[in-house]
Structure 1
Amino acid sequence: MKAGVNAVIKTEKLPIKLWLDEGQMEEGALEQARNLANLPFAFSHIAVMPDTHQGYGMPIGAVLATQGAIIPNAVGVDIGCGMCALRTSLTDIATDDLKEVMKIIRDTVPVGFNHHTERQDEAWMPERKGELPIVAQEYESALYQIGTLGSGNHFIEIQKGSDGYIWIMVHSGSRNLGFTVANHYDDVAQRLNRDAGEDVSRGLAFLPESSEYFDLYWREMNYCLEFALANRKLMMERVEAAFMEVLPEVEFADFINKPHNFASEEEHFGETVIVHRKGATRARKGEWGMIPGSQGTRSFLVKGKGEPMSFESCSHGAGRIMSRSQARKTLDLKKEVKALKDRGILHAIRNRKDLDEAPGSYKDIDEVMRNQTGLVEVQIELRPLAVVKG
């Protein structure tokens, strides 16, 4: 088993350290990593997790540390996107009960582009501190979006753990609030960079620490992080209610939350830096985290090992091996559905347009986990039982 860095690319200004083989990385993602390594304010090296694939500006699954600047696109448009997990007291659940629970979840948690028809309790919203112009602009709309799943790879999954218990996992982010904040400050960064004669063609426009917009983005980004957590907590409460309606004696414990699209000020190699994690999970020594596979494969609850070379990070999932459009065009619908049915999973693939989230569109989660044995230690394996997808 590989416990350390798989490969190091030394052709750029800074080294690029890979937790996968160089040949496993698509050319577009590799080119984006090279762009990161040549940024004048990048620090030490670029860390690339084993689930990496091409994103916008920065690869999904990359970790970038900077000094004196922050890059909105290195956090991403779904600020605070992440996962939470909760253990139930159940050790088993009958199929009919599980189907009833899933029906209630689908009735109470809007998915895709759907929002609540009524304004949600404002007590769920994070407290606003300081100047937050975009948050203020989007606040009323966010009251209808909190507690909604969204689309893409977001999910609610019921799982059976290797510890013997039934678990719940929720993956979602900051909805349109984070999207609007991200795009606004990327536009501002592009304008500032163009005025300063900087190249903005690579999707890595930055806000210098000397700019007033640096502090504005920082505050609004952190609000979106809190909103994304509140969003997941409200959905989790609705899932708990669904379980209690069907199985009144059920209890819940061991809540875990982990974002994977954020920037934070941290100490690494004796310096204070801004660590951008875009589709990467923080994995400090002893810190709990979640690494999901796909709706047809295992997920993992892990503890971090605090590896310095990864900036104390690990993968956020399995990672895609093909684009969404490619998956819809090339994957076999009957084959993907049969594989899920054979495993006894109440899945979310109904027609060809759902194939972008089929297991065949994702990397082998077992290989991803083998590539990061030096980053995390598996505590509990989770097998999917039922899935709601955005």
Structure 2
Amino acid sequence: MHTNGKAIITTEKLPIKLWLEADQMEEGALEQARNLANLPFAFKHIAIMPDTHEGYGMPIGAILATKGVIVPNAVGVDIGCGMCSLRTNLTDISTEDLKTIMSIIRNTIPVGFNHHKTQQDEAWMPERKGDLPIVNQEYESALYQIGTLGGGNHFIEIQKGSDGYIWIMIHSGSRNIGFTVANHYNDVAKALNKAAGEDISNDLAYLPESSEYFELYKNEMDYCLEFALANRKLMMERVKTAFREIRPEVGFSEFINKPHNFAAEEEHFGETVLVHRKGATRARKGEWGMIPGSQGTGSFLVKGKGEAQSFESCAHGAGRIMSRTQARKKLDLEEEIQALDDLGVLHAIRGRKDLDEAPGSYKDIDEVMNHQKDLVEVQIELQPLAVIKG
């Protein structure tokens, strides 16, 4: 069934509104969306963005609004994961300068599982407010992790904007502190649901408002959101320092930050609900956002249109078309490298293990953007010049 350009699935307890064709969804993601639509506490409908793919319990690129409960896995294990962008006042940069800048960045920002060898300045850490048992437990370790990129699809990218300027974009999250908070409260939710005799999938275990753990998780989630932001800010400072070393005349614009793994209390359809966005970006009317492609395709700075049916949300990126394992097995290493070399991108693909982040493992970003013209308006298109991947 279609309405207003969206596909709608009406076979479940609540409608599922898709910003893509139903046959474009992988079976696993579609099954997860059906599970969401049958949750007793889900509100109004489920919204699925065009970059969707299978996640853990809930599809990436999905929005779930609830009443009276919070679902840790509907936020995900990388709480506060998101993007930030900064515009420089440079209109050009040489390949040699780019190579030197990227080398400095690699020496100052640990990637993958690596952390800093010494604790970072505690002034970068968010203030701890209220009862935060897991945050307090992980706090000392987090001092080594703030200002680190992490792995997977996290990146630092230097880009050329359609506005004529050089831009910097960073994608990262809350590192191990967010992972530990997420897993702890998912385990708590599973135990609570089981004790109450609730027939809820363990992957979608929830914390009811009546439980002390509801507020505890919210407090710790909010801290992880602040930590993830601080993490991106510190990395951005290190990138700015690298630019200044090579181009001392450089200046920088205001910092734009957008998380895409979080839950927030919001007003929708006349009611106060808890909106869970897992791999989805909030896109209120006039609100800035970032939608990155792959390291071989464009990214977009957008402004939201405030579309009610998507719970004022949009896609958070291109979205995967194959799993990491599939990408390493199926993609041609030479072809992927050659395609990026032909584009002149200083990229991060060295061997077969890096193919999980090759452009061929992602959806066509232009198609993703075409599916959500009612959600966002493109302001600036950004083309990759140089990329560091986690």
Give the TM bin, normalised by the shorter chain: over 0.9
Deviation, 1:200, is: 4.3
State the partner residue of 1:171.
Answer: 171
Q: Describe how 1:1-390 pairs up with structure 2 within 5 A.
A: 4-390=4-390
Q: Do the aligned residues in 1 keep the contact of 2:190 with 2:202 (CA within 8 Å)? A: no
1:203 match: secondary structure: helix
- Cα deviation, 1:212-249, whole Å, max 9, x if unaligned, reads 00000000000000000000000000000000000000
CA–CA separation in structure 2 for the residues paired with 1:211 and 1:129 = 20
The AA in structure 2 aligned to 1:49 is M
CA–CA separation in structure 1 for the residues paired with 2:369 and 2:202 = 30
1:228 match: secondary structure: helix
What's the % identity of the aligned pairs? 80
Deviation, 1:4, is: 4.3
Deviation, 1:198, is: 1.5
Give the direction of change, closer, same or farther, for the CA distance of 1:3–1:88 in structure 2 (3 Å limit).
farther
2:55 match: secondary structure: coil
Q: Do the aligned residues in 1 keep the contact of 2:68 with 2:208 (CA within 8 Å)? A: yes
CA–CA separation in structure 2 for the residues paired with 1:259 and 1:5 = 27
CA–CA separation in structure 2 for the residues paired with 1:5 and 1:181 = 39
Q: Do the aligned residues in 2 keep the contact of 1:3 with 1:373 (CA within 8 Å)? A: no
CA–CA separation in structure 2 for the residues paired with 1:12 and 1:81 = 30
CA–CA separation in structure 2 for the residues paired with 1:332 and 1:198 = 47
CA–CA separation in structure 1 for the residues paired with 2:201 and 2:122 = 40
Q: Do the aligned residues in 2 keep the contact of 1:5 with 1:18 (CA within 8 Å)? A: no
Q: Do the aligned residues in 2 keep the contact of 1:70 with 1:207 (CA within 8 Å)? A: yes
CA–CA separation in structure 1 for the residues paired with 2:348 and 2:209 = 44
Deviation, 1:201, is: 3.4
Deviation, 1:202, is: 4.8
CA–CA separation in structure 1 for the residues paired with 2:6 and 2:148 = 38
CA–CA separation in structure 2 for the residues paired with 1:250 and 1:258 = 24
Unaligned runs of 5+ in 1: none
CA–CA separation in structure 2 for the residues paired with 1:388 and 1:263 = 29
CA–CA separation in structure 2 for the residues paired with 1:107 and 1:247 = 18
CA–CA separation in structure 1 for the residues paired with 2:373 and 2:50 = 11
Q: Do the aligned residues in 2 keep the contact of 1:124 with 1:234 (CA within 8 Å)? A: yes
Deviation, 1:6, is: 2.0
The AA in structure 1 aligned to 2:275 is V
Give the direction of change, closer, same or farther, for the CA distance of 1:114–1:103 in structure 2 (3 Å limit).
same
1:274 match: secondary structure: strand
- Cα deviation, 1:152-202, whole Å, max 9, x if unaligned, reads 000000000000000000000000000000000000000000001123435
CA–CA separation in structure 2 for the residues paired with 1:319 and 1:4 = 23
Unaligned runs of 5+ in 2: none
CA–CA separation in structure 2 for the residues paired with 1:358 and 1:338 = 11
Q: Do the aligned residues in 2 keep the contact of 1:4 with 1:372 (CA within 8 Å)? A: no
Deviation, 1:254, is: 2.6
CA–CA separation in structure 1 for the residues paired with 2:7 and 2:202 = 24
CA–CA separation in structure 2 for the residues paired with 1:166 and 1:229 = 22
Q: Do the aligned residues in 1 keep the contact of 2:156 with 2:170 (CA within 8 Å)? A: yes
Task: State the superposition RMSD in angstroms.
Answer: 1.0
The number of residue pairs the alignment matches comes to 389
Q: Do the aligned residues in 1 keep the contact of 2:301 with 2:378 (CA within 8 Å)? A: yes
Q: Do the aligned residues in 2 keep the contact of 1:300 with 1:382 (CA within 8 Å)? A: yes
Q: Do the aligned residues in 2 keep the contact of 1:3 with 1:372 (CA within 8 Å)? A: no
Deviation, 1:92, is: 0.3
Structure 2 length normalisation: TM-score?
Answer: 0.99
